[in-house]
Chains A and B, each alone.
Chain A
Amino acid sequence: MRYLISVIDDKNDPGSTDRRPAISAFNERLIAEGHWVFAGGLADTDTATVIDNRGEQAVFSDGPFVESKEYLAGIWVWEVPDLDVALKLAAEASKVCDRKIEVRPFR
């Protein structure tokens, strides 16, 4: 079962910036335990572009699709047997990243 793990940061109250080594160590463990599928940190939301090509022609707009204080800072994709395993790892991930984590299953 695959889950999307979203790392959520808050512009008004950002998490600490010294988490890289801890995240790397956590990633090593995810790989060793067979849970790691994909991971990546995202550039700032200012760098996003939204494309809408449902009409006559494609419309490009600068910025993220939704402006909010809380935003997606990075993601993981994990392969785990069930939600309990995902939640347990996510609780650790939240500590490791010093940020909130959303766990959402793939269909």
Chain B
Amino acid sequence: MSDVEEAITRAHHDEWARVVAALTRRFGDLGIAEEAAAEAFATAVERWRADGVPPNPGAWLTTTANRKAIDRIRRENKRDDKHKEAQMLLDDTPPEPLGAIDDDRLRLIFTCCHPALAVEARVALTLRMVGGLTVPEIARAFLVQATTMEQRITRAKAKIKAARIPYRMPSADDLPARVSGVLAVLYLIFNEGYLASGPGTDPVRHDLTAEAIRLTRLIRALLPRSGEVAGLLALMLLIEARRPARVSTGGELVPLAEQDRGAWDAELIAEGHRLVRERLAAAAAGVAPGRYQILAAINAVHTSARDIRDTDWSQILALYDRLARLDPSPIIALNRAIAVAELDGPEVALAIVDRLAEALAGYHAYHATRADLLRRLGRGHEARAAYDRAIELAGNTGEIAYLTRRRAQLR
């Protein structure tokens, strides 16, 4: 990669959200901001090659994008009243101070993750406006046609405008709920990468997990005091750290117990553990941890064991008990049962899992967990039926390969 290309890639990485956010605030329109930002980056590719990289690429891009936006508004709206245009051109209010809680990028994120938008729309808008992914990239990530994704984004932008979803920080009493809405979107993006669904994709989509981590780091920088943001970042890092050991050379998903722990990313684990320790200190000082912090702590226990046999299962079970009190969902109960199996044996765990039959009948992991417990109890016939159902429901190619092999090993 040439120096110029590298500078453009870096600028895109660092400045895209900032440019879109600043323009949205100035022009009050996400669509104009997005198009002008894209034009500014396209211009940079030409101009930086010819004239060299400007000393302050971010400022250059913002200025260029501002000009592009004004050109566009003039072109599209020639009969617009002169007064409004003059006012727009004179608006040189300085941007909000960086690092302050009222960073424009936070407004952008809260707007993209607004609860009045459909969840798929929140995900798509966040990746486009904040992440700077192109529409075809996002479409590929979610296995839909580019035109479908384009419509989804266009519709969301139209709703933001027509229903007047405000471009500002949520009020203090709304903030926790709105932050957890943003985190849910990021976790969804991460999970789609971590356990990619669909027959045509790799079992793990590093592009999506990396993007989710990058965006969560951004939120962490903008909301450094939020425990759940730190928790989600730690959770993602500790899961991502295991990625090198998670898929076999044959493309099969490798369960935690069989992973080569030496292949785990020590740096990511260290960073994740640091964050978890920070949150444990806060919990000790009386700040009740939320679900992401507890999930991160569970993953910290796993990643602290050099060997599966060293896993502190009683600690993991205690954390799941805590999580279940916070979120009494059947999926949490299912994961808790896995820890119970290690402490009290598969029979006790199976009794818990069987109680979830109705709620989780359509969930592949329910059948996979049951299959494994039945296998350990020597109930091969029932295990086979459970593997069949799990394979039928699983969407991840690596997981299907793993379950199929396990089924074949049944006696």
Contact = CB atoms under 8 A, between A and B. Distances in A.
Interface of A: 1, 81-84, 87-88, 103-105, 107
25 contacts: A1-B164, A81-B166, A82-B164, A82-B165, A82-B166, A83-B114, A83-B116, A83-B163, A83-B164, A83-B165, A83-B166, A84-B165, A84-B166, A84-B170, A84-B171, A84-B174, A87-B115, A87-B116, A88-B174, A103-B163, A104-B163, A105-B162, A105-B163, A105-B164, A107-B162
B212 to A, nearest CB: 26
Contacts of A105: 162-164
Given A87-B115, A87-B116, A104-B163, 11 more contacts: A1-B164, A82-B164, A82-B165, A82-B166, A83-B114, A83-B116, A83-B164, A84-B166, A105-B163, A105-B164, A107-B162
A84 B115 CA distance: 10
A2 B361 CA distance: 45
Nearest to B167: A82
Interface of B: 114-116, 162-166, 170-171, 174
Nearest to B170: A84
Interface centre among A82, A84, A103, A104 (most CB of B within 10 A): A84
A84 B166 CA distance: 7
A95 B116 CA distance: 18
Contacts of A103: 163
Contacts of A84: 165-166, 170-171, 174
Contacts of B170: 84
Contacts, number: 25
A102 to B, nearest CB: 11
A105 B174 CA distance: 22
A105 B116 CA distance: 13
Contacts of A87: 115-116
A103 B114 CA distance: 15
Contacts of B115: 87
A61 to B, nearest CB: 32
A1 to B, nearest CB: 5
Closest 4 CB pairs of A and B: A82-B166, A82-B164, A105-B163, A83-B165
B162 to A, nearest CB: 6
Contacts of A104: 163
Interface centre among B116, B162, B164, B165 (most CB of A within 10 A): B164
Nearest to A104: B163
Contacts of A83: 114, 116, 163-166
A88 to B, nearest CB: 8
A11 B164 CA distance: 32
Nearest to B173: A88
A83 B166 CA distance: 7
Contacts of A88: 174
A101 B164 CA distance: 18
B28 to A, nearest CB: 11
A33 to B, nearest CB: 15
Contacts of B163: 83, 103-105
B198 to A, nearest CB: 34
B68 to A, nearest CB: 27
B113 to A, nearest CB: 13
B251 to A, nearest CB: 46
A88 B166 CA distance: 13
A105 B163 CA distance: 5
Nearest to A107: B162
Contacts of B165: 82-84
Contacts of B162: 105, 107
A87 B178 CA distance: 13
A83 B114 CA distance: 10
Contacts of B174: 84, 88
A1 B165 CA distance: 11
B107 to A, nearest CB: 12
Interface centre among A83, A88, A104, A107 (most CB of B within 10 A): A83
Nearest to A105: B163
A85 B260 CA distance: 53
A107 B114 CA distance: 20
Interface centre among A87, A88, A107 (most CB of B within 10 A): A87
